[in-house]
Chain A
Amino acid sequence: MGLNIAVLATGVPNDYKALEQAFLLKDKYPESKVAVFSIGACAAGVLREAMYRGADEALASDSFVPGCHDVVLCGCQCAEEIARLTSMTGLSCVVCVRSILSFSSGNIAVECVVENSIEESVLSLPVFASVDSSAVSCRPRNAYCLLRHNRGKSPQVSHAVALNAEQTCNGSVEVKECKYYQASDEGVRTFVKEILRTRVLQSADTAMSLKDSSVVVVGGYGVGSKETFDRLFELAHLLHGNVGATRPAVDAGYATRDRMIGQTGVVVRPELYIAFGVSGHTQHLCGVKECGVMISVNKDAEAPINAFADYSIIGDAREVIDKIITYCQQEL
């Protein structure tokens, strides 16, 4: 008894949660197949990661045939996007799924988050489900999948997408590409919009201490100068947040010591954490607990922080800060 499962990756962190739901189904019904499709200009990073973690196939969106899957999962919570995708697939739709409980005789039971409480519902297949951010995190990479991939056999990431991946890795000074979110200027604008809507407007209290702020903008040594660092205050102000720093940034005189986050500094628990020029060493990141969304801006795609960040923007901190401030001003 196997299911034909599709995961539509749209370039949001929740993609991984959708992926995990697919894997959990496959754990239960081992004959199932998990195929991952990238929708739009989504980075190939997700596809590659999906293969490393156990997906059977990774394909570009143009190979997605609506109607040939039992379960279609996605991590996207954006209403317009879901509407677009469901019309594309023509399936019945359930949103905010936290876990898939069981599957029997053409039906599937799911648990959804409805206004802060959990509800169970049963749907008949085929079904389209968007996975909630409270769902379990994705499993790690798997040694066998890595080795399989290493042999260059199975991952069928389509050529076009693979080329995109190359570009992502090379990076550029434009605010163009994210690790999980390959985006044009326009894309980042949308992304900023989404972040602002869902996360920021809830916290309007500007007088919060760094420790209690739900939005924290952090500058690291990579910010490069006190002038650039000072611009972080502008952004924090716009977002009703506060500014933190890494130890080297403090040592370099960009910020005062009370702003230092980490092992020897303050511990923060933000909803939104945006790091500029921060490499992401443990001594710093151990001061960032239960973080909602983590965004990193770093010129080095390989910086360790990118392994933790939900969004990584590869570019020069000075230029990116300007762009983000501009977008925010336009959106707010």
Chain B
Amino acid sequence: MNYYSDNEALEFYLKHPLLRRIVDMKEKGYGDAVGYDYAPTNFEEAVRGYEQVLELVGDLCAGTVAPNAERVEREKHTLEDGHVVYAPVTSENLKLFRQAGLMGVSLPRRYGGLNFPTMVFTMMQELVCRADAGFGNLWGLQDCASTINSFGSDEQKERYLPMVCAGATMSMDLTEPDAGSDLQNVRLKATYDSTSDQWYLDGVKRFITNGDSDIHLVLARSEEGSADGRGLSLFICEKSCGKVKTRRIEDKMGVQGSPTCEIVFEHAPAELCGSRKMGLIKYVMSLMNGARLGIATQSVAISQAAYSEALAFAKERCQFGKAVIELPPVYDMLGNIKARLDAARSLLYETARNVDMGYQFAELARERTLTPEERAESKLYSKIADALTPLVKGMGSEMVNENVYDAVQVHGGSGYMRDYACERLYRDARVTSIYEGTTQMQVVAAIRYATTGFYSQLVDEYLSFEPSQALASLHARVRAIANVYTEALEVVASFENQEMLDFLARRLYEMAGYCVMSALLLRDANACEELFASSLARFVAIGEAVVAGHSTYIKNFNVELLNKYKQ
């Protein structure tokens, strides 16, 4: 089995027309080919390379990581003398990925990386998380290095990035006991000692994935007496300093493949990354956007795993003299899982493409002044990426929870038993709508793109093509739900009440989600009917029901109701 080659949708998304532009920009005339014998000399070679490496990852994931996923639940990580000892299978997975050269996937070759675009990294992450969402976190944290690459000094890049490529692990230390969704409240203290020209960190972080990492990115309060986000800076701190201790490994519901830790900084020497006071406002925003895309990917991956498990089970299990997959309520559940999976994946890779383009223009802007056209394009891609990231994180993670729920249901009693992977998937999925910002926080980040009409514009843009005859009526139906959504926006705007907007935001967000995802899946189905047409028909039908329901709710809402609903 190979998780890459057994899934045709992946090749479809890999070979998207925009990939050429992304790769051409990323490889800058394929100049690296001179100095690096593993750099491609042209676009075709680059894509062939991506495919080969994806196949390698698909093989490792299906062959080793997936079978290990069950074992890590029993073996557990342990705490020894303030440090984490990984479960043996986790160490085995890590060793394998280091040997396979998969630790610096998107970093520049100058530092030993593979220089792959976000799109391809995202696809690898889908494969890894499908095998084991917990290990996916641990491995995916290498993406933190991109923040050092974007904002660190040359010395920092030269020091840390080769370490990452060689297999050093990372962690993103943001959350504290009193600062979760509200990161402005971070208290961990950073003090500057002018005699030794050195920053020191003191304080506690909690819920940190892979908290005993080799290289920590830490959000800390560098400005004494400040109380908000503007007093925070980002620091790099190495495990080797010996002043960062793990004092607890959380006993959690799922994603056992990576330890979640409470860590203490005891006057730990650290380096400032980028400029002072920009920690939360700029760098953590960038860090989180990458991480949110990662969790969206994880959501799609778990959905894929849940679908594969449920489908296989339903074909196998017989009741009333036939396989349960032949029973309408069962194939209905399976079809819904598949539809939500395909729609979320469509949005995922659309987001990844825009992130790539935004990133490439930002890189280009660092090298030379952009032309006015380039500047306009750059702005648009970044804006789309910023708008789609909270949408795919929130929608994807909520949908994977629906999917694992249905997948367990398809299994009946067996789904409740540890013997079936589905039981683990059910628990693993739960956290996706919590970490990297809860769904509620995704709504907060996304709502302005609803109220300003940006999502509506995007849907219009996505729908502006001539559909094939077979898809014409679905095209019209997507247009129709988009209109219902726009009307609902107008109704909410007419309330002119911020609290009502906050209360209804989740509903508007979901409506936007269904419209954008339907439109994207429609485009994909138009390009490849056999892969997506069936999911599309279902997804639009689900979307119509959700959008109509929310629309009714919003139309019947008023201030009196809001006051009644207050707890």
Q: Do A and B bind each other?
A: yes
The yes or no answer to B226 lying at the interface (CB within 8 A) is: no
Known: A150-B52, A307-B59. A142 touches B99 (CB 8 A): yes
Known contacts A140-B100, A143-B101, A143-B102, A150 near B59 by CB under 8 Å: no
Q: Tell me the smallest distance from the CB of B435 to a CB of chain A, in Å.
A: 28
Query: Which residues of the partner chain A approach B63 to less than 8 Å between Cβ atoms?
Result: 307
**Assembly CA distance A144 to B107 (angstroms):** 13
CB-CB under 8 A from A151, the residues of chain B are 33, 37-41, 45
B100 touches A147 (CB 8 A): no
A282 and B100 contact, Cβ closer than 8 Å, known pairs A144-B114, A151-B45: no
With a cutoff of 8 Å between Cβ atoms, the chain A residues found around residue B99 in the complex are 139-140, 142
B34 within 8 A of A: no
- B287 surroundings in chain A (CB, below 8 A): none
A189 to B39, CA, bound (A): 45
Partner of A146, one of B33, B41, B52, B60: B52
> Are B114 and A150 neighbours in the complex by a CB distance under 8 Å?
no
Answer yes or no: B53 CB below 8 A from chain A CBs.
yes
| B56 interfacial by beta-carbon distance below 8 Å | yes
Whether A147 touches B114, Cβ cut-off 8 Å, given contacts A139-B99, A140-B60, is yes
- When the two chains form their complex, are residues A150 and B101 in contact, meaning their CB atoms are under 8 A apart? no
Question: Chain A residues near B39 (CB, 8 Å)?
Answer: 147, 151
A-side contacts of B60, CB under 8 Å: 140
Interface pair B62/A142, CB less than 8 Å apart? no
Give complex CA distance A281, B52 in Å: 21
- Contact present for A282 and B56 (CB under 8 Å): no
A window 291-313: CB within 8 A of B: 304, 307
Cβ of B316 within 8 Å of any chain A Cβ, yes or no, is yes
A282-B37 contact given A141-B56, A142-B100, A146-B53, CB 8 Å threshold: no
Q: Are A154 and B45 in contact (CB under 8 A)?
A: no
Complex Cα gap A36–B283 (Å): 48
Q: Are A281 and B1 in contact (CB under 8 A)?
A: yes
Closest residue of chain A to B312, judged by CB? A283
* Cα-based distance from A142 to B60 in the complex (angstroms): 11
Chain A residues within an 8 Å CB radius of B102 = 143
A153 lies within 8 A of B37 (CB): yes
Cα distance A150–B38 in the bound complex, in angstroms: 8
Chain A residues within an 8 Å CB radius of B101: 142-145
Please judge, given known A-B contacts A281-B1, A282-B62, A307-B59, whether A143 and B37 are in contact too, CB under 8 Å: no
By a CB distance below 8 angstroms, the chain B residues around A286 are: 67
Judge whether B555 is part of the interface by a CB distance below 8 angstroms: no
Find out whether the CB atom of B38 lies under 8 angstroms from the CB atom of A140.
Answer: no
Q: Which residue of A lies closest to B5 (CB)?
A: A304
- For A139, A144, A145, A304, which residue has the most chain B Cβ atoms within 10 angstroms? A144
Chain A neighbourhood of B114, CB < 8 A: 143-144, 147
Chain B residues numbered 41-92 whose CB sits less than 8 Å from any CB in chain A = 41, 45, 48-49, 52-53, 56, 59-60, 62-63, 67
Interface residues of A in 106-162 (CB under 8 A from B): 139-148, 150-151, 153-154
Q: Which residues of chain A (237-284) have a CB below 8 Å from chain B?
A: 264, 281-283
Scan B439-457; emit 1 where CB is below 8 A from any A CB, else 0: 0000000000000000000
* Minimum Cβ distance to chain B for residue A157 (Å): 16
Residue of A nearest to B52 (CB): A146
Which one, B52, B59, B67, B96, contacts A147 given CB within 8 A? Answer: B52
Nearest Cβ on chain A to B74's Cβ, whole angstroms: 17
Q: Which range contains the number of A residues in contact with the other chain?
A: 20 to 34
Nearest CB in chain B to that of A27: its residue: B99
Q: Which residues of A have CB within 8 Å of B2? A: 304
Contact bitstring B89-123, A, C-beta under 8 A = 1, else 0: 00000001001111000000000001000000000
> When the two chains form the complex, which single residue of A143, A154, A304 contacts B53, counting CB atoms closer than 8 Å?
A143
Query: A307–B114 Cα gap in the complex (Å)?
Result: 26
How far is B526's CA from A117's CA once the two chains are assembled, in angstroms?
65
Q: Are B1 and A144 in contact (CB under 8 A)?
A: no
Contacts of A145 in B (CB 8 A): 38, 101
Q: A153 CA to B59 CA in the complex, in Å?
A: 25
When distances are taken between beta carbons in the complex, the residues of chain B under 8 Å from A139 are 96, 99-100
Question: Are B56 and A148 within 8 A (Cβ)?
Answer: no
* A188→B67 CA distance, assembly (Å): 33
Nearest chain B residue, comparing its CB with the CB of A154: B37
**Chain A nearest Cβ from B216, distance in angstroms:** 26
> Which single residue of chain A is at the shortest CB-CB distance from B96?
A140
Max chain B C-beta neighbours (<10 A), residue from A151, A154, A282:
A151
A167 vs B34: C-alpha distance when bound (angstroms): 34
- Complex Cα distance A113/B404, Å? 49
Inter-subunit contact B45/A140 (CB<8 Å): no
The smallest C-beta distance from A246 to any residue of chain B, in angstroms, reads: 14
Tell me the nearest residue of chain A to B56, going by C-beta.
Answer: A141
Are B37 and A146 within 8 A (Cβ)?
no
Specify the chain B residue showing the minimal Cβ separation from A150: B49
Contact partners of B38 in chain A: CB under 8 A: 144-145, 147-148, 151
Is the pair B49, A146 in contact by a Cβ cutoff of 8 Å? yes
Q: How far is the CA of A200 from the CA of B29 in the complex (A)?
A: 59
Query: Closest residue of chain B to A53, judged by CB?
Result: B99
Please give the distance in Å from B392's CB to the nearest CB on chain A: 27
- Given A154-B37, A282-B62, A143–B45 Cβ distance below 8 Å? no
Q: Shortest CB–CB separation between residue A251 and chain B, in angstroms?
A: 12
Question: What 15 new A-B contacts, CB under 8 Å, besides A147-B38, A151-B37?
Answer: A140-B59, A140-B60, A141-B56, A143-B53, A143-B102, A144-B101, A144-B114, A145-B101, A146-B56, A147-B52, A150-B45, A150-B52, A281-B1, A307-B59, A307-B63
Query: Which residues of A are in contact with B by a Cβ distance under 8 Å?
Result: 139-148, 150-151, 153-154, 264, 281-283, 286, 304, 307
Can you name 26 A-B pairs with beta carbons within 8 Å? A139-B99, A139-B100, A140-B99, A140-B100, A142-B99, A142-B100, A143-B56, A143-B100, A143-B114, A144-B101, A146-B56, A147-B49, A147-B52, A147-B53, A150-B48, A150-B49, A151-B39, A151-B41, A151-B45, A153-B37, A154-B37, A264-B316, A282-B62, A304-B1, A304-B2, A307-B59
Q: Ordered nearest first, which 7 A-B pairs have the shortest CB separation?
A: A147-B38, A143-B101, A139-B99, A142-B101, A148-B38, A144-B101, A147-B49
